[in-house]
Amino acid sequence: MGLWLRKNLFNTWYNVILTLAGLFLSLWGGLSFLDWAINRAKWAVVTENLGLFVVGRYPEQSIWRIWLILTILAALSLFSWQLNRGRFPDCPAFLQRWWGLLWLLTLPLIAWLLLGGLFLKAIPLDDLSGLILTLLVAIASMILSFPLGVLLALGRQSELPAIRWLSIGYIELLRGLPLLGILFMAQVMLPLILPAGTRPERVIRAIAGFTLFAAAYLAENVRGGLQAIPKGQIEAAKALGLKPIFVLLLIVLPQALKAVIPAIVGQFISLFKDTSLLAIVGLVDLLGMAGSVLANPKFIGDYPEVYLFLAFIYWIFCYSMSLASRRLEQRGVGCGVWGDGVWGVGSFSVISKQ
């Protein structure tokens, strides 16, 4: 340790000065922040409004649904974490292999508990606010934009000129527009192109705007992965008699997606943070709820505490996505992994090793 410090931090006189100055500034800043956070900060603005930040103005008589959803997510997260750490060696192989699919199957259950219907009181989407609105828009946009982005990436490499140029036009057009402008256009123009009398809720229009915008960037990320696949693998798969659709699904896409996992997750993290723009289009997301809390005369001036709390929440979710992406990158893409290959069986697993 001492040798490393001498070699990297104290090897020259100016590195010594920079190291000592950096340590002094870090120590001074850290102690000043701790003094403010412990002795002067007014955290009552957070503790007294924690419910508003999380559930917003969700009906009080239905709050039990939120707690049930959190319990389900906590149980799934805990089991997933323990499963990845190898704490359940006797767990059936099929459960370990398809555990990601179980997460997807819980989404309809969570949507039913959150929005109601079928024996539960229905709650309009536009009545959601706070953190649950931020999570709903972010998760829905991620799920919808991913397949659309993959299709656009495939379309941009299509041999059919019409599909290729339509995909290129869409990608370049959406990437050249600001997200805020797309959100405003989705709020105003989407009802105009739908049949008369059809007016989606504002949350649906916001999800549509985020989905269209994110899909264009995801398409370019996926296209980079597709170009990294050696043509020899595709030719070998075709030589073995595999049809083009299966070459794409079993050989090309799993490897291409694994290669661009960091870029895709980076785009999802950016999308999650971009949900803070919902407040500008009239929806009360987590940031909008902070504005409502700070408008209370009791908490006027408590800006640092509120925005530091919001920054911590955003960091927790973004860092969690980053950790999950690293784990996914290590284990590979897809739910069904047979043999030693990517998604192939028998002789096709040999192709994925080349």
Separation between Cα atoms, residue 177 and residue 69, nearest integer Å: 36
Question: Predicted confidence band at 331 (pLDDT cuts at 50, 70, 90)?
Answer: low
Question: Predicted confidence band at 94 (pLDDT cuts at 50, 70, 90)?
Answer: low
At 307 the pLDDT is 92
Contact yes or no for 125/56 (Cβ under 8 A): no
Separation between Cα atoms, residue 172 and residue 174, nearest integer Å: 6
For residue 125, pLDDT beyond 90: no
At 86 the pLDDT is 67
Residue 5 exposure: Cα atoms within 13 Å on the Cβ side: 5
What is the SS3 assignment for 115? Answer: helix
The pTM assigned to this predicted structure is 0.82
For residue 95, pLDDT beyond 70: no
Question: Predicted confidence band at 110 (pLDDT cuts at 50, 70, 90)?
Answer: confident
Tokens of residue 344, six digits: 């192939």
Sorted by sequence, the CB contacts under 8 Å of residue 100 that are 6+ apart come out as: 335
Say which amino acid occupies 220. E
344 or 265, which is more confident: 265
Give tens-digit pLDDT for 136-188: 899 999 999 999 999 999 999 888 889 999 999 999 999 999 999 999 988 88
Separation between Cα atoms, residue 285 and residue 314, nearest integer Å: 12
At 194 the pLDDT is 80
Mean pLDDT calculated for residue range 304-319: 92
Q: Is 193 exposed, middle or buried (0-12, 13-18, 19+ CB in 10 A)?
A: exposed
For residue 351, pLDDT beyond 60: no
Give tens-digit pLDDT for 315-325: 999 998 888 88
Distances from the Cα of 51 to the Cαs of 48, 73, 155, 291, in angstroms? 8, 18, 45, 15
Give tens-digit pLDDT for 288-302: 898 888 888 888 888
At 339 the pLDDT is 36
Question: Predicted confidence band at 66 (pLDDT cuts at 50, 70, 90)?
Answer: confident
81 or 270, which is more confident: 270
Give tens-digit pLDDT for 45-58: 899 888 888 888 88
Question: Predicted confidence band at 354 (pLDDT cuts at 50, 70, 90)?
Answer: very low
Give tens-digit pLDDT for 230-242: 888 888 888 888 8
Mean pLDDT calculated for residue range 200-222: 92
Query: Quick one: what percent of the chain has pLDDT higher than 70?
Result: 88
For residue 334, pLDDT beyond 70: no
For residue 76, pLDDT beyond 60: yes
At 348 the pLDDT is 37
Mean pLDDT calculated for residue range 88-92: 68
For residue 219, pLDDT beyond 70: yes
Question: Predicted confidence band at 252 (pLDDT cuts at 50, 70, 90)?
Answer: confident
Mean pLDDT of the chain: 83
